[in-house]
A and B are shown apart, each in its own frame.
Chain A
Amino acid sequence: MTSYIIKRLLGTIPVLLVATLIVFMMLQLTPGDPVLLLAGERATPERIERITADWGLDQPAYMQYFSFLGRIVQGDFGISITRNRPVMDLVKMSLPITLELSLAALFISMIIGIPAGIISAVRHGSIVDQAALFGSLLGVSIPSFWFGILLMLAFAVRMQILPTSGYGTLAQVVLPAIALGTAGAALISRVMRSSMLEVMQQDYIRTARAKGLSERIVIYKHGLRNALLPVITIMGLSLGWLIAGSVALEMVFARPGMGQLLVRGILMRDYPVVQGMLIILVLCVIIANLVADILIAMANPRIKFD
């Protein structure tokens, strides 16, 4: 398994290279000069020239890219142009905040999505199934930032049982995690439902029933374990979009996570921040998928690490 993990991690290097190159090219091709934004309207031409040179932005684009890669290899993500702080420091500050929200949202997605999917499948066609379908549609359709504001109004302002915004305590992650996790729950419940329906029609389920096992054991021991496999894959993939989705919620819930930093980085053309954040995000998604693959292999002994 160790060699499998190492092999997978080594495989991420070309992915990272391609991702950074694409982002670098996109930033270069998009109009906008970070120095103009940084120096402000009252900056003199000399000052603009000086800052451009200080940040190496007067170098040809390919030189900038290679010097960036050279630094990355040494673990140096550079210094944020707009914040004058090492990008690594910004990552250390913001990554836990984003991961906390994403993982909490994933948890919410699971605890709502998996039971909802199972119940829908077991009672498919019933009113409960219809309600779950309706709930899923609603969950996917409601923009998470708007749902976040609604939750904040209800639980923080009117009932005053949860904090409005911020970060640092478990209570502060509840509302954004629900807002973000609902859409994920909808997706997971649909996948869980169809997977469960398929599994419940398999011969081994019929055999289990024929053996006289109770319906509970048939569903949870024989059905669920097999039906979970696609759900685990979906959860691994969804961590990526949960992090992406956290961008809007970090703004709404005033959480200084990576999404917020990335958005400002893009708007201000803060190349080191955008590049650095992107590498970390790509790594997060790759690791999440790796973990999902390992979990699948553990849940399904038929799969062997290769």
Chain B
Amino acid sequence: MKKLMSSKWLLLFVVALSMVLVLAACATDEEPAPVPDDDDEVVVGEPRRGGDLVIALDWEPDPVIDVYNLGWGNLPHDLFEGLLISDYDFNPGPGIAESFRFEEDGLVQIYEIRQDRYFHDGTKINAEAVKRHFELLTDEEVDSMSRWDFAFISSMEVLDEYTLQVNLDNPFPAALSNFSWSGGWGGLQNPWAWEEYGPWGENTYGTEVVVGSGPFKFVEWIPGDRLVMERFEDYRSTPIHENEGPAYLDSVTYRFIFDSSTAVMEFEVGNVHILETVPPEFVEQVRNMPGANVYEGTGWEVVYVGMACDKPPFDDVRVRQALNLAVNQEEIAEIVWMGYAEPAYGYISPLFGDSYVGDKETFGYDPEKAKELLAEAGYADGFTTEIMVEPRTDWIAAAEIIQDMLAEIGVTAEIRQYERAGYYDKLRAEEQEMFIRAHSWWGLDILPWYFHSRNFPYPNYHRYVNEEMDARFDAADYADTYEELVEGYRAIQVDLNREALWIPLVNTLDIVAYRDEVQNFTFHPHYGIRYNVDVWLDE
């Protein structure tokens, strides 16, 4: 009997312990913290030096093959600085170059380099260094990712120690914008360090050695774990920053936490200061955490359904228009992205401002008209097709909803999942029909990238070939002024919209969470980045 009792107690203990564990895990704080009002400004105290800002990324920078590919996001902006930097209104302003002027109708650009700037290894930045950097960038042998973004440079001359002349064969209004991109393209790096440690030398550049001139210098990159950088004491800031330099923070650590729940928990306990991406399903939870702030803003990403426009039935514009009218973007944004996305009605993000042209008539929702258009095109009974999708939860959910919406107009779509490598292979093999994709490009050159016939069949996997449109792309790219470039691209979009080459789905929102300790948090919408040089920690 005594034995039985003790056994019972043991069982009771085991059950009670399990319940404590489950309850402890499920328990929420008694009172949720007040939700910060969007209009509330974070109280800004006096800047303080010190601290390690920890940022969680749910991805790791892209594989580094050459110097110019450190991945996207905020990371390159801490390490590098462009010749120019766009201000918060997207206008190119001073960066490494303190001023610039154009001569001979823009075919000669003269840049005055600041005299107080150094690379992280102590090398002084002068016109020669900038020239060598861009020479490497456009070198056929180097074959940089950014080569074509600076192909407009025909030659460069060092006029004096700190004056660089860039010569162009044709006017190229996007030049300033390309020079302003410190994340990869225009981000200045010590060209001689690259020659010593890059693939021509020790082949450790980008993994163990990185020499930029930004506010933080590279310390180490532990694959799959973290990338650490520390304050560069000799950094002197450009006018866009409040801080004149050097940075307040001792160091910045990017932790690669691939599991969103883990990242959110690390944020909650205070081990992470900034969550670079908050998945929609976690936004409310994060918002209710004490000491947490959430930034939400339109992002650059456009999620869309592509179509092989030269394959029947997609070669008929009426079919493409019908498919567009059958899809209700608002519903998809609400259900799949839980409202943290805006319905998309164009090929690029509305963040482009004046350069963006949407078309609600073509890309909107009108299933009745869709049926009429299908009948007109000879598909009154619909047709069968397939939607190719990568195994991402949100995209698969979107595909399932689209499948139902297309069924309403008689189109049977089969969803086929391919993981990334297989997906790309299908595109290369030209076997695509409908496919879900996204792009986050911030330049208008994304349009010829996807729709110019010189890029057929890849990356023009939308398979759109139109010689007249090719000529219009070329004319816009080499317009005399930026205004003419924008005008050209606006007109192009009007016509491309009518062609209904895609089914635009949503523009996803950039959602960043930061803790109260992070002071002077500012979000630059242009590149979807923050400048950590202005940030300090109040701990």
- A29-85 residues with Cβ-Cβ distance < 8 A to B are 30-34, 36-47, 50-51, 81-85
Question: Which residues of A are at the interface with B, using a C-beta cutoff of 8 A?
Answer: 30-34, 36-47, 50-51, 81-85, 90, 93-94, 123, 126-128, 130-131, 135, 149-154, 156-160, 163-165, 167, 251-254, 256-257, 260-261, 264, 267-269
Query: Contacts of B145 on A, CB cut-off 8 Å?
Result: 40, 42-43, 47
Known: A84-B206, A253-B262. Contact between A131 and B10, CB under 8 A?
yes
16 A/B residue pairs, CB under 8 Å, sorted by A = A31-B422, A32-B424, A32-B425, A37-B420, A44-B148, A47-B145, A127-B10, A128-B10, A128-B11, A131-B10, A154-B21, A158-B24, A158-B25, A252-B262, A261-B224, A268-B63
Cβ contact of B14, chosen from A85, A135, A260, cutoff 8 A: A135
Bound Cα distance from A157 to B272, whole angstroms: 13
Bound Cα distance from A176 to B10, whole angstroms: 26
**Contact string, B245-269, partner A, CB cutoff 8 A, digits 1/0?**
0000000000111110110011011
Q: Size of chain B's interface in residues, with CB distance under 8 A?
A: 53
Q: Say how far B395's CB is from chain A's closest CB, in angstroms.
A: 16
Q: Say how far A153's CB is from chain B's closest CB, in angstroms.
A: 4
Cβ contact of A153, chosen from B3, B7, B265, B424, cutoff 8 A: B265
Cβ contact of A30, chosen from B206, B262, B421, cutoff 8 A: B421
**Contact string, B65-77, partner A, CB cutoff 8 A, digits 1/0?**
1000100000000
Residue from B8, B22, B262, B265 having most chain A Cβ neighbours under 10 A: B262
Interface SS of A by simple majority: helix
Cβ contact of B265, chosen from A81, A123, A156, cutoff 8 A: A156
Whether A33 lies near B425 (C-beta < 8 A) is yes
Query: Contacts of A156 on B, CB cut-off 8 Å?
Result: 265, 269
CB of B528 closer than 8 Å to a CB of A: no
CB of B271 closer than 8 Å to a CB of A: yes
Known: A157-B265, A267-B419. Contact between A33 and B424, CB under 8 A?
yes
Whether A85 lies near B223 (C-beta < 8 A) is yes
Closest chain B residue, CB of each to CB of A146: B261
Whether A37 lies near B421 (C-beta < 8 A) is yes
Q: Say how far B227's CB is from chain A's closest CB, in angstroms.
A: 12
Bound Cα distance from A32 to B426, whole angstroms: 9
Query: Contacts of B10 on A, CB cut-off 8 Å?
Result: 127-128, 131
Closest chain A residue, CB of each to CB of B11: A131
Question: Which residues of B are at the interface with A, using a C-beta cutoff of 8 A?
Answer: 3-4, 7-8, 10-11, 14, 21-22, 24-27, 62-65, 69, 143, 145, 148, 203, 206-207, 222-225, 255-259, 261-262, 265-266, 268-269, 271, 418-422, 424-426, 428, 439, 449, 458-459
Cβ contact of A267, chosen from B27, B271, B421, cutoff 8 A: B421
Whether B262 lies near A165 (C-beta < 8 A) is yes
Query: Contacts of A154 on B, CB cut-off 8 Å?
Result: 21, 24-25
Bound Cα distance from A260 to B225, whole angstroms: 10
Query: Contacts of A51 on B, CB cut-off 8 Å?
Result: 65
Known: A47-B143, A158-B27, A254-B256. Contact between A42 and B421, CB under 8 A?
no
Known: A30-B421, A46-B143, A157-B268. Contact between A256 and B224, CB under 8 A?
yes
Whether B25 lies near A84 (C-beta < 8 A) is no
Q: A31-B421, A254-B257 are in contact. List 11 more A-B contacts (CB 8 A).
A: A31-B425, A32-B421, A38-B65, A42-B145, A131-B11, A149-B261, A149-B262, A160-B269, A164-B269, A256-B223, A260-B258
Whether B420 lies near A267 (C-beta < 8 A) is yes
Cβ contact of B21, chosen from A36, A123, A150, cutoff 8 A: A150
Cβ contact of B63, chosen from A47, A81, A126, A257, cutoff 8 A: A81
Known: A128-B11, A135-B14, A154-B21. Contact between A30 and B258, CB under 8 A?
no
Query: Contacts of B262 on A, CB cut-off 8 Å?
Result: 149, 152, 164-165, 252-254
Whether B422 lies near A157 (C-beta < 8 A) is no
Bound Cα distance from A267 to B329, whole angstroms: 31
Whether B62 lies near A94 (C-beta < 8 A) is no
Bound Cα distance from A45 to B143, whole angstroms: 11
Bound Cα distance from A32 to B64, whole angstroms: 20
Query: Contacts of A130 on B, CB cut-off 8 Å?
Result: 11
Bound Cα distance from A80 to B258, whole angstroms: 20
Whether B63 lies near A83 (C-beta < 8 A) is yes
Bound Cα distance from A40 to B184, whole angstroms: 14
Closest chain A residue, CB of each to CB of B6: A128
Closest chain B residue, CB of each to CB of A35: B424
Q: Say how far A257's CB is from chain B's closest CB, in angstroms.
A: 8
Query: Contacts of B22 on A, CB cut-off 8 Å?
Result: 150
Q: Say how far A289's CB is from chain B's closest CB, in angstroms.
A: 28
Whether B25 lies near A32 (C-beta < 8 A) is no
Known: A38-B65, A252-B262, A254-B255. Contact between A33 and B428, CB under 8 A?
yes
Query: Contacts of B256 on A, CB cut-off 8 Å?
Result: 254, 256
Query: Contacts of A42 on B, CB cut-off 8 Å?
Result: 145, 449, 459
Bound Cα distance from A151 to B203, whole angstroms: 42
Bound Cα distance from A50 to B141, whole angstroms: 10
Whether A150 lies near B65 (C-beta < 8 A) is no
Closest chain B residue, CB of each to CB of A153: B25
Whether B421 lies near A34 (C-beta < 8 A) is yes
Closest chain A residue, CB of each to CB of B263: A254
Query: Contacts of B14 on A, CB cut-off 8 Å?
Result: 131, 135
Known: A82-B63, A84-B65, A127-B4. Contact between A32 and B261, CB under 8 A?
no
Q: Say how far A156's CB is from chain B's closest CB, in angstroms.
A: 6
Residue from B8, B27, B256, B269 having most chain A Cβ neighbours under 10 A: B269
Q: Say how far B279's CB is from chain A's closest CB, in angstroms.
A: 15
Bound Cα distance from A50 to B14, whole angstroms: 62
Known: A30-B421, A40-B145, A267-B419. Contact between A254 and B225, CB under 8 A?
yes
4 smallest CB-CB distances across A and B, nearest first, come from A32-B421, A256-B224, A256-B225, A82-B63
Query: Contacts of A126 on B, CB cut-off 8 Å?
Result: 3-4, 7
Bound Cα distance from A254 to B8, whole angstroms: 40
Known: A149-B261, A150-B22, A254-B262. Contact between A84 and B64, CB under 8 A?
yes
Bound Cα distance from A164 to B255, whole angstroms: 13
Closest chain A residue, CB of each to CB of B146: A42
Whether A84 lies near B424 (C-beta < 8 A) is no
Closest chain A residue, CB of each to CB of B60: A264
Whether A40 lies near B62 (C-beta < 8 A) is yes
Cβ contact of B424, chosen from A36, A128, A149, cutoff 8 A: A36
Closest chain B residue, CB of each to CB of A260: B224
Bound Cα distance from A46 to B147, whole angstroms: 12
Whether A251 lies near B143 (C-beta < 8 A) is no
Q: Say how far B306's CB is from chain A's closest CB, in angstroms.
A: 12
Residue from A135, A149, A165 having most chain B Cβ neighbours under 10 A: A165
Residue from B7, B255, B459 having most chain A Cβ neighbours under 10 A: B7
Bound Cα distance from A268 to B259, whole angstroms: 18
Bound Cα distance from A189 to B24, whole angstroms: 27
Bound Cα distance from A93 to B65, whole angstroms: 21
Bound Cα distance from A128 to B223, whole angstroms: 46
Bound Cα distance from A234 to B534, whole angstroms: 57
Closest chain B residue, CB of each to CB of A41: B459
Cβ contact of B143, chosen from A30, A50, A94, A264, cutoff 8 A: A50
Whether B63 lies near A93 (C-beta < 8 A) is no
Residue from B63, B148, B255, B439 having most chain A Cβ neighbours under 10 A: B63
